[in-house]
Structure 1
Amino acid sequence: MNCLICVGTAERIQCQGPWEERDCPDCGRYRVSDQLILALMDQGQIFDVSRTRGWLDSRRMEEAIPSIEAHEALLVRSSGD
């Protein structure tokens, strides 16, 4: 399985609700809402890897497994746009 942030190899974690959860050696453990994943695919966008990793690190101070929802996404256009 791939990391939803850096596209590296990551473990998919089973979770309840409308989420995809991953544990990536580089990005850590996190959840991304299904709604956001669909929006990313639909709009041809990707995460800004370094900004997203920084955001996840700051969120881990408040919660063990941070969740990225559509309204919180740090996105950049994919290359070629």
Structure 2
Amino acid sequence: MSCLICAGRAETIDCMEGWEERFCSQCGRYRMSQALVLTLMDQGQIFDTGQMRRWLEAQRCAVPVPFIDAHQALLAQ
């Protein structure tokens, strides 16, 4: 499977319904809402990879597996 942030190779991890969880060697482990994934695909948008990686790293100070939904995606920009 591919990383939802950088499109590199990533491991898919089973998680709760409504979420996608990935482990990417470059981006780390994170969860992203399926609604956000569909929105990004529908609009043809992608993340600023460097900025999102920095945001995820900062979030890992508070939680081991950061989650990204539309609200968090806007904060990371």
Q: TM-score range by the shorter chain?
A: over 0.9
Q: 1:47 & 1:10 partners in 2: Cα distance?
A: 16
The AA in structure 1 aligned to 2:20 is: E
Report the number of matched residues: 76
Aligned to 2:51: 51
The AA in structure 2 aligned to 1:7 is: A
1:39 pairs with 2:44? no
Unaligned runs of 5+ in 2: none
TM-score, normalised relative to structure 2: 0.93
Aligned to 1:60: 60
Aligned to 1:27: 27
Q: Give the helix-richer structure, 1 or 2.
A: 2
> Which one has a bigger Cα radius of gyration?
1
Aligned to 1:10: 10
Unaligned runs of 5+ in 1: 77-81
Over the aligned positions, Cα root-mean-square deviation in angstroms equals: 1.5
Q: Percent identity?
A: 55
Q: Kindly provide the CA deviation profile for residues 5-58 of structure 1, in whole angstroms up to 9, marking residues without a partner as x.
A: 011100000001210000000000000001100110111100110000000000
